[in-house]
Amino acid sequence: MHKFKKANFIVLTIVILTILLSGCELESSENFQDNIGDLVVHYIDIGQGDSIFIQLPNGETSLIDGGPKANSNVVVNYLKEMKIEKVDYLIATHPHEDHIGGLPEVVKNFEIGKIYMPDKVANTAIFESLLKEIKAKDLKISVPSSGEYLIDTDDLKYQVLAPNGEKYENTNDYSIVSKITFKDNSFLFTGDAEKTSEKEMIGKGYDLTADVLKVGHHGSSTSTTEEFLLKVDPDYGVISLAKDNKYGHPHKEIIELLNKKGIDILRTDELGNIIIKSDGKDIEILNGYSKENSIKETVYEEENYIGNKNTKIYHSPDCGSLPKEENQIIFKSKEEAEKEGFKPHEKCIK
């Protein structure tokens, strides 16, 4: 694993090694037992982040990410409302707060089977908190290999497709990408994987086709290339994000690309919790979505830029080197940032 830059985080690395070597209300009134035999995927309206709960047809469960810390109670309450007691497969796609922030409370409140995380650490309090909760329950962390199957039966497969490399400049490309195939239907979960990871998956020759795509990185233009989308060829594209978020997600070019390909777009900022059910043959949207009643004109605001008050450098909203939130200042344009004496970050601003 990568080493922390600061000495006080060396302890966390030891904790990780020890673990590796040792051991809002639900919109549907149906509880977990009602859907045994079907695949039901819940894209939880967690705000600006990701949290996806999966009821597997074999009676097991999976949770991919837990959203931001501020909304930890949303995920916990959602699972408790469904009378869930155990998460069999817990995946933390990558160590960004909007994906792992709610996971410490999940680990604390539920029985956990297997935990999967990429080979990437973060020197953040929330990452430390997650590790402490995992250690407190004497659980193990597995670092999955691309191509590995978490479940491999005739009718049900749960496969990891990324990451395919060991070192990336951008933490998002460490995202664990997984695919669930249930008979004739399949779902692809991409975390925040960006263009580099997408290209690697294509190069590996994986079967990326899916009926439902969790659109990468909240609809950011850093993900979902046209080449990748052609390989996936989904009927539905689900975007998890908060309304009026500061990053300008979803980006205009991604919405236009999805529309161009005739893909139905389902957004948590517009629909709330999105629940999709498969019997292995047909896909059904359980929470009232229909293409006819959801078509609306999307109004795009100017893409924001994020300045660092300390360094006087401004960044694109998807830069991997964004300052801590307390040091951020938001600009509506490059011109506004530069008028205030900020200079562009050489790696993310072209």
Listed residue (176, 186, 158, 183) closest to 61, CA to CA: 158
Domains of the chain: 32-295 (3.60.15.10), 305-344 (no CATH)
Determine the average pLDDT of the residues in 149-164. 98
Q: How far apart are CA 272 and CA 252, in angstroms?
A: 21
Of the listed ranges 176-185, 257-266, 294-303, 341-350, the one predicted with least confidence? 294-303
Q: How far apart are CA 41 and CA 240, in angstroms?
A: 13
| pLDDT (tens digit per residue) in 243-269 | 999 899 999 999 999 999 999 999 999
- The predicted pLDDT at position 31 comes to 53
**Token reading at 294:** 């959801």
- The predicted pLDDT at position 223 comes to 97
- The predicted pLDDT at position 238 comes to 97
pLDDT bin (cut points 50, 70, 90) of residue 350 is low
Place of tokens 């530069």: 338
SS (H, E, C) the chain: CCCCCCHHHHHHHHHHHHHHHCCCCCCCCCCHHHHCCCEEEEECCCCCCCCEEEECCCCCEEEECCCCHHHHHHHHHHHHHCCCCEEEEEECCCCCHHHHCCHHHHHHHCEEEEEECCCCCCCCHHHHHHHHHHHHCCCCEECCCCCCEEEECCCEEEEEEECCCCCCCCHHHHCCEEEEEECCEEEEECCCCCHHHHHHHHHHCCCCCCCEEECHHHHCCCCCCHHHHHHHCCCEEEECCCCCCCCCCCCHHHHHHHHHCCCEEEEHHHHCCEEEEECCCCEEECCCCCHHHHCCCCCCCCCCEEEECCCCEEECCCCCCCCCHHHEEEECCHHHHHHCCCEECCCCCC
Q: How far apart are CA 221 and CA 195, in angstroms?
A: 9
**pTM strictly above 0.95:** no
- The predicted pLDDT at position 34 comes to 61
**For residue 26, what are the CA distances in angstroms to 11, 44, 58, 81, 286?**
39, 9, 22, 7, 12
**Token reading at 329:** 């200042």
pLDDT bin (cut points 50, 70, 90) of residue 319 is confident
pLDDT bin (cut points 50, 70, 90) of residue 331 is confident
| pLDDT (tens digit per residue) in 8-59 | 444 445 445 444 444 444 444 355 556 679 999 999 999 999 999 999 999 9
Backbone angles phi, psi at 141, to 5 degrees: -105, 130
Spatial contact of 170 and 77, defined as CB atoms under 8 Å apart: no
**Token reading at 183:** 């008979």
| pLDDT (tens digit per residue) in 185-215 | 999 999 999 999 999 999 999 999 999 999 9
* 162 pLDDT above the threshold of 70: yes
- The predicted pLDDT at position 206 comes to 97
**Token reading at 89:** 């497969």
Determine the average pLDDT of the residues in 70-99. 96
